[in-house]
Structure formats: structure tokens, C-alpha cells
Amino acid sequence: MDEILGQVLRSAVWERLDMLTELADRADAPSLLSVARSELPRLTEGWRSMLAAHEPDDRGNCPTCSGRWRQQKAPCSVWRAAYEHLVAGGLAPEKPARHALDAFPRRMPAAAR
Ligand SMILES: [Zn+2]
């Protein structure tokens, strides 16, 4: 994938995430219910697909994060992020989680992506 296509792809994903965040913050209840019904299955399927690619192999390494010269022991950063956001973060009260998210820029600088 060339650099421009990669940039377009990343921008589209960031914009989609921004749109969903905006909807969660501002949409009225009927709109939010409609979005949740359509988007939650897409998001859970996306997580499943991504996590499947990071399932440990029979030596306990992540085949996606491992390189030729360096093996990444499971759980890799993708699994740790999944646990943090889906399990640990899911139990946190809304207020502290919001503050934690607000501490991070919504969009990373282009050079850091
Ligand atoms: Zn991995």
C-alpha cells in the first residue's frame, strides 16, 4: 500500500471515530439507539477480526507483532489495549474515563501517525 493510500485510509478511520464520538456526545436518544444498533456490531466484529490476527501462536508469541528477528510475547499491545478499553475501561465510571480520554488529543499530529 503506498503512502498516500495509507494516509487516506488512516484519515477515513480517524474521521469515522470522531463522528461516532460526536454522535455519542450529542445525538438524541432515538438517533443514538439507531447508531448503536448499526455500529456496535460493526465495532465488535472489527475488534474480533483484529484480535484474531493477534492470537498467540503455539509458542505463545503474537504472529502479527513478531518480526523475523524479534518475537513479541503474548499478550501483545493489541490484546492489552483490548483488555484496557473493553474490560477494564468498561467498568470504570463515566466521569473519570471521560477525563482520561480528554487528556489525549483527539487526533494525533500527522507526523506521529
Ligand atoms: Zn500482536
pLDDT greater at residue 112 or residue 63: 63
What is the average pLDDT across 25-49?
Answer: 95
Q: Distance (Å, rounded) from C-alpha 71 to C-alpha 13?
A: 28
Query: What is the 55 CA–ligand 1 centroid distance (Å)?
Result: 7
* Domain locations along the chain: 1-53, 56-106
Per-residue pLDDT at 25 exceeds 80: yes
Q: How far is the CA of 83 from the centre of ligand 1 (A)?
A: 13
Instruction: Give pLDDT, residue 5.
Output: 93
DSSP symbol at 111: G
Average pLDDT over residues 51-75: 97
End-to-end CA distance of the chain: 15
Q: What's the 75 CA to ligand 1 centre distance in angstroms?
A: 7
